[in-house]
Structure 1
């Protein structure tokens, strides 16, 4: 099966390559210059590499950039006077405002996540919206859409990446089902205000420039801050409804990156069941007033029944880990217990004591997610001070944060289901199967009384004491972005470096927070956009399209301009597309008797219609964490592109 699928895929690539080559030959004979012919060839090559995944998209982008650079060397052989891109500008993408901004916002997002702020945001969203896809998607996507109406959309998306990751881990919903709706709505949110995205920010200046060439009776008025808000609201609403209604058909159903938290938990359970015969589930239960356990302590309860309390809340805060759960703690009405045991033992225990068991973890959902706690293996080495003492004598759970489930000794497993596993004295070489928080386990790695066998667990510790520093620099960054004319990259780097200098993140953690695949993808595509602009390819395509629809009805011409802007924003910067097409749209509107300001606005809005391939900064940002492939964007983004055109054109003509 795998062989045939591989052969089939190769055949598709070969057939596609032949078709793309034929298209390139045809275009070369139709365009007016050799430069435009070669640029069109590079565009076709990029689309082919992206669409058919011959190599990874980042590798494809770097290859195209290198080939553009080599055009300077082989210019005479290609019939060119000089290369398609100035060699001195070939790598300017790596220092571009967009790329530096993405790097900085990733670091800021990691800093906020490290302090636990994003975990709290995720918890709030789940409390408000529940844990179902139909409720989580509109809440996350709508929130990000609103934020991106006054903040650069890539910044809004990057800040919510950790939130989506937490929600995915807690609910079991794959990130691939959550990130694309969030990313698309971040892009759509940029159309809600005149400061939401670079094209609409630039539009008023372009209108004033175009006014210089227009007669007094055709002067265009600039747009107010909220002039386009109805259009943006309609687009964001359309995006949310699209994924609610059609998400199960267009979104990928699985994602290795998106299911990391859930798969870690499932794999761990399977491993311990197979190796030690230890099966377990975790439930949250509330103690009612008439419960027979009221007045007893944890020690007595755990001694009589085959369950373990790994966290509890008596109304004075959650107790978990070392110095948290104490076997001498009494049980009171209203106490919340996080219980670990086999499903049969848990059901029997809850039924016998009339406990109110919740379907999902609620109060303990933050502290017991697979990214915060789990089952681990620990070996007692020779010379350990624990040898000869039992878990009960050591107060193992209170002292070290370890809830003992089983001891593996001499090929035999002594589990909690046997008698008195907590009373068995430890021996050298014993393997302890325990439930613990990863923070406690990380601390024990430095304790010579233990040898930690489980090493593949999240080692990153939260720094809640750094919350004020993180919020301060986030507020400073937001203020610089919203209330100054400072370049976006400088404003965001101010916050990023503030996070590092204040100790919210170390510099190594900041480096690890950056998705370098995203950086190389975006930076390597910028020279291609530059070639499209400087070679005259963009202007040639625009003029050819307009010439073919010049005699059509005004709404058809407006639609053609929107489609043209959509195409250009996929292969060049949206700012470049706006600068190129706005003057053209204004001139066309004057010729056909339409409102030139509305045609110009059509361009600025349509340059946000970038969903088909991951060339937009937001799409590139979510591609790795969501485990997306280019066909995923083409499937979901193709329909979104059409919906965007229909809704935006309709609203433009209704509102204006």
Structure 2
């Protein structure tokens, strides 16, 4: 290989461990790789920025607007209301859940589908007497399996398809062409979840039990009307900087002051709620003017219009990862008080302020009502849901939003419009019809995913133009012995392993030119390899970090990494075998 090829190979090889082992976002890692290649003259400006003009990228962006319109109008809630019902037993509940999730995920991005279903499934499982941990991992896996059915199912399918059309203009795929393989894969995967997967689920507590008894992590005191603390501020009373406790709310005359500030003035009879350990009660008893609460019922079990109890799942991109809650000024930034932290299905004991946050931690927060809407699309949280909050009712525009999506599918399937034109028209219709506002549409776009895709295109172009893709393909062929079948299997295994550690879009786009170069060297049809890259990039069942929906359910379900390997590992093998068996039958070498 040439010097440029070696430089590109080294840079591309460094990208994957950086994404897997550091807190740097995939978009930042890939953009940095482009800067290095551009600076060293391996690629020019047009190649580096070519991904930002790719039709696949714009299709994904417009589809985000369509998904936002369905979410904002309660379109997914409409499905939840009518399909979950009251099944008999755990297996019946599993079937009722995964079938509609797989179908909906064939046309909508997986992340908002899981985000909408997750709080509803937790409430539903409690009514049925089934532990949420028995349903949440299948929820994520069903959304991934459903995403393989159509080109719309995942952004990866659209991106790889656009790469294929750009490289081979004579080749094209219809919206439902993937269904020849995707439907059998989804059916086999769903059957596995019902017959085998649910038996492998862990028997461990989830957040529903860890946060069930507020008395375990809160202490309630009252301000003595005749004591010295009356009319003092929280700061003056010495209640602002306690060692192991946080003052989170004050109940006063039937109302509540949430996320208490240091200047709040105390009144006689105020009921103060502190979050922390029971050891902290000893410190509170030393305060003259504070007496133990005489109420038997925990204040957190009451409903107040001025406050909400919210569960938030910490994302890998949260700025407080690795920091202690007290040091990170969490309350100041978010206007929310942390009541408890759940990790691996267990509430984290000890001094609350000393807990260092980790990805997939579930935080029980006391917030003001606006918090959920304000932070629902925050990169710091994978999921924000109100505790015991019912699914939002379907609004009058839900059917209109679904109708727009159906129209987009019809236009793209019949060939009346290209995929990008149909998606663009659908996004405009959603905005003009009032199904989604401009602000909600903007928040619905996952800019990190879009930047990752665009930067991946630049790195893929570098692999192609420098000759690195051809060189790596030659080495891959030598290992595979020149057999199309062996190369197909090798491609699937490599992409599936990469996507288990890093983002699926990056894994697909970067390996695409290598797989195509290998297929061209063999002189065989590239279509089987295109399809295998699509499916392998979606086969993210083995680890929680391989797919965002896995990380979303990890905390609320009380799962650990080994749980995904135990349940998802066999699923990866089963779906891989189906893909490798059917793909050459549908698209021969």
TM-score (norm 1): 0.51
Out of 67, 76, 79, the residue aligned to residue 118 of structure 1 is 76
In structure 2, the residue matched to 1:43 is 12
Distance change >3 Å, CA 249–CA 528, structure 1 → 2: farther
Post-superposition CA distance 1:590-616 (Å, at most 9, x none): xxxxxx56x7435423432114679xx
1:121–1:454 CA distance, 2 compared to 1 (3 A): same
Q: Are 1:601 and 2:528 counterparts?
A: yes
CA pair 490-584 structure 1, distance change in 2 beyond 3 A = same
C-alpha distance after superposition, 1:404-441 (max 9, x if no partner): xxxxx998657899xxxxxxxxxxxxx99854789999
The aligned counterpart of 1:535 is: 466
Q: Give the aligned partner of residue 266 of structure 1.
A: 212
Distance 1:50 1:630 in 2: 21
Q: Is the 8 A contact 1:378 1:433 kept in 2?
A: no
Q: Is 1:54 aligned to residue 54 of structure 2?
A: no
Per the TM alignment, residue 181 of structure 1 is displaced from its structure 2 partner at its CA by 0.1
Higher helix share: 1
How far apart in 1 are the matches of 2:449 and 2:88? 31
User: What does the per-residue CA deviation read over 1:348-407, in whole Å, with 9 as the maximum and x for residues that have no partner?
Assistant: xxxxxxxxxxxxxxxxxxxxxxxxxxx9967568xxxxxxxxxxxxxxxxxxxxxxxxxx
Contact kept in structure 2, 1:91 and 1:527, CA below 8 Å: yes
Whole-angstrom distance in 2 between the partners of 1:480 and 1:468: 18
| Contact 2:508/2:533, CA 8 A, preserved across alignment | no
The whole-number CA distance in structure 2 between the counterparts of 1:224 and 1:505 is 28
> For residue 324 of structure 2, what is the aligned residue in structure 1?
none
Alignment of 1:483-632 (within 5 A): 483-484=414-415, 486-550=417-481, 555-556=485-486, 558-560=488-490, 562-563=492-493, 574=508, 581=515, 585=519, 588=522, 600-601=527-528, 603-611=530-538, 622=549, 625-626=552-553
Aligned residues: 433
SS at match of 1:49: helix
In 1, Cα distance between equivalents of 2:431 and 2:210:
30
Residues 522, 620 of structure 1: 8 Å contact kept: no
Change (3 A) 1:252 1:507: farther
Q: In the TM superposition, what are the counterparts of 1:116-265 in structure 2 within 5 Å?
A: 116-127=74-85, 132=90, 134-136=91-93, 138-146=95-103, 151=107, 155=109, 158-159=112-113, 161-171=115-125, 173=132, 177-190=137-150, 197-198=157-158, 231-244=181-194, 245-246=196-197, 262=208
Equivalents in 1 of 2:470, 2:204: separation in Å? 41
Q: Deviations over 1:521-543 (max 9, x none)?
A: 44443332332233222222223
- Kindly indicate whether structure 1 or structure 2 has the higher relative contact order, using CA contacts under 8 Å at least 6 residues apart: 2
CA shift, 1:252, in A, is 12
Do residues 645 (structure 1) and 565 (structure 2) align?
no
SS at match of 2:537: coil
Report the CA distance between 1:254 and its aligned residue. 8.4
Counterpart contact for 1:107–1:496, Cα < 8 Å: yes
1:493-528 alpha-carbon deviations (Å, 9 max, x no partner): 443444344333333333333444444444443332
Query: Do 2:8 and 2:468's aligned partners in 1 also have CA atoms closer than 8 Å?
Result: yes
Change (3 A) 1:46 1:112: same
Q: 1:190 to 1:536 in 2, by over 3 A?
A: farther
8 A contact 1:148–1:186 mirrored in 2: yes
* RMSD of aligned alpha carbons: 5.4
Q: Output one character per residue of 1:316-369: Cα deviation in whole Å (capped at 9) or x when no partner.
A: xxxxxxxxxxxxxxxxxxxxxxxxxxxxxxxxxxxxxxxxxxxxxxxxxxxxxx
Q: C-alpha distance in 1, partners of 2:56/2:167?
A: 21
- CA deviation map 1:544-596 (0-9, x unaligned): 322444466x644553465577689868575786677468537736xxxxxx5
Going from structure 1 to structure 2, the CA distance change for 1:227 and 1:470 (only over 3 Å counts) comes to closer
Give the secondary-structure state (helix, strand or coil) at the position aligned to 1:188.
Answer: coil
2:53, 2:415 → 1: CA distance?
A: 21
Q: 1:519 to 1:203 in 2, by over 3 A?
A: closer
> How far did 1:54 drift?
2.1
Q: Which residue of 1 aligns with 2:368?
A: 455
The whole-number CA distance in structure 2 between the counterparts of 1:549 and 1:135 is 44
1:384 corresponding residue in structure 2: none
Whole-angstrom distance in 2 between the partners of 1:632 and 1:487:
43
Q: For 1:92-129, what per-residue CA distance to the aligned partner results, in whole angstroms no more than 9, with x for missing partners?
A: 54554444444443443343233333223123332165
C-alpha displacement of 1:231? 3.7
